[in-house]
Structures are given as structure tokens and as C-alpha cells.
Amino acid sequence: MTALHQSANVITFISTDGNKSLFTNRPFKAGQVIDVLPCLSEQDYPTRYTVQTGPNQHIDIGEVWACGNHSCAPTMLFDMRRMLVTATRDLKAGEELTFFYPSTEWDMAEPFVCHCHSPECLQHIAGARYIPTSVLEGYFLNDHIATLVTERDAQNDTAETHEEQHTNGVSNGTSNGNGHAEHHHWTNGK
């Protein structure tokens, strides 16, 4: 591997196959700040090299941090509220810095097959939108992702309730006693 960038805390390497990775340059304790995330520009759509900071906000975090690879067992997290990179566990010098992409990304521009080989590996990474809440509960999620998950779950609960009512003969109306519903056509969400 060839070093591309080196700072007091991280080294960016490029491997012989052209892939870039980040590694610690010194030890870190769990929760310790590794670095401040830069914001070079903002936009309202995702790209392969941006990080989501809000429902429709994405930022360019620069060449160094864009080399952070995904892992389903991450060693760092991007805290977008504080714009900090922190260690998820104690790290030794020379360990690869990886983060859980769905912790910042709702619907990724370029989904991929994960090869992290961790026992928790989700295999297909497309954003938090496509991961069950029960799985996401095991990860740090940025505020905007947690909000979007809550909204998704509320919509799913509403759809499931409607489906249950329809199945039980109470769809948009009242049961007429024989398992069929008397339908009402609602307007304006009423």
C-alpha cells in the first residue's frame, strides 16, 4: 500500500487494486474524538462522495474522510450534529477506520454488496431506508436518520392498521355485520 495523506490522527492508503482506506495513526479510546469533519460544499442530493446531514442535505467532507470505508462493525462514527469523527471502541495505531454508512445515509446514490465479513454483515447496503428498525436499533444513527426511520415506521404502522381493518371488514367505514364494509370516501385526509 502507498500512503496518500498523513495527519496526526489518520493515514490514507491506496492499495495495489486502487481502493483507498483510512487507518489510525495512533491509539484512540472508545468515544474519543478522532477529528473534525470538514464541510467543503453542500447540495440537496447524494453522490458517492457526500455524507447526508439532513433529510435533503448532503455535504462534501473532503478527499480524506471520503476514503472511509463501510463496515457493519464500524470502528468510527460520523456525528453530523457535532461534525466530529469519534472512535466506536478502543483502537490501536494502524487499525482501519470504517463507519456504518446507513448511520448517515437514508437512500444511497450507489448501493453495493458489503464484504466486511463481520458477523453482523447486512450484505446489501443501500441506506437506512431499506434496513428494518430492529436492525438499526443496534447502531448509532444520526438525528436525521433516526427521524426518517420514525416517520417510515409511523407510515408503515398506518398502512398496517389500514390493511388489518380492510381484512377485518372495516376499511374506510364500518362493518355491516357480514364481514363486508360500508365504504366511505374521505377527502382532505379525513
- Reported as a single tens digit per residue, the pLDDT across 137-169 is 999 999 999 999 999 999 987 766 655 555 555
Average pLDDT, the chain: 83
Q: Is residue 176 part of a domain?
A: no
Please determine, for residue 126, whether its predicted confidence score (pLDDT) is greater than 60.
Answer: yes
Q: Is residue 128 part of a domain?
A: yes
Residues 12-68 have pLDDT tens digits of: 665 657 788 888 889 999 999 999 999 999 999 999 889 999 999 999 998 888 889
Ramachandran sector of residue 94 (left: φ over 0; alpha: ψ -120 to 50; beta: rest): left
Distance of CA 105 to the CA centre of its chain: 4
pLDDT at residue 88 in the model: 97
CB 173 within 8 Å of CB 153: no
Report the CATH number that the domain containing residue 158 is assigned in CATH: 2.170.270.10
Q: Is residue 186 part of a domain?
A: no
Q: Is residue 99 part of a domain?
A: yes
Q: 6 - beta bridge partners?
A: 11
CB 20 within 8 Å of CB 4: yes
Could you give the CA distance from residue 161 to residue 107 in angstroms, rounded to a whole number? 26
Q: Which residue has the higher pLDDT, 150 or 177?
A: 150
Which residue carries 483510512 as its cell? 22
pLDDT at residue 158 in the model: 74
Q: Is residue 129 part of a domain?
A: yes
Distances (CA, A) of 15 to 8, 75, 160: 21, 20, 48
Could you give the CA distance from residue 79 to residue 61 in angstroms, rounded to a whole number? 12
Q: Is residue 178 part of a domain?
A: no
Could you give the CA distance from residue 42 to residue 61 in angstroms, rounded to a whole number? 9
Q: Is residue 147 part of a domain?
A: yes
Please count the structural domains in the chain.
1
Residue among 117, 90, 123, 85 nearest 103 (CA): 85
pTM of the model: 0.78
Q: Is residue 183 part of a domain?
A: no
Residue among 88, 82, 69, 72 nearest 21 (CA): 69
Give residue 23's domain range.
2-167
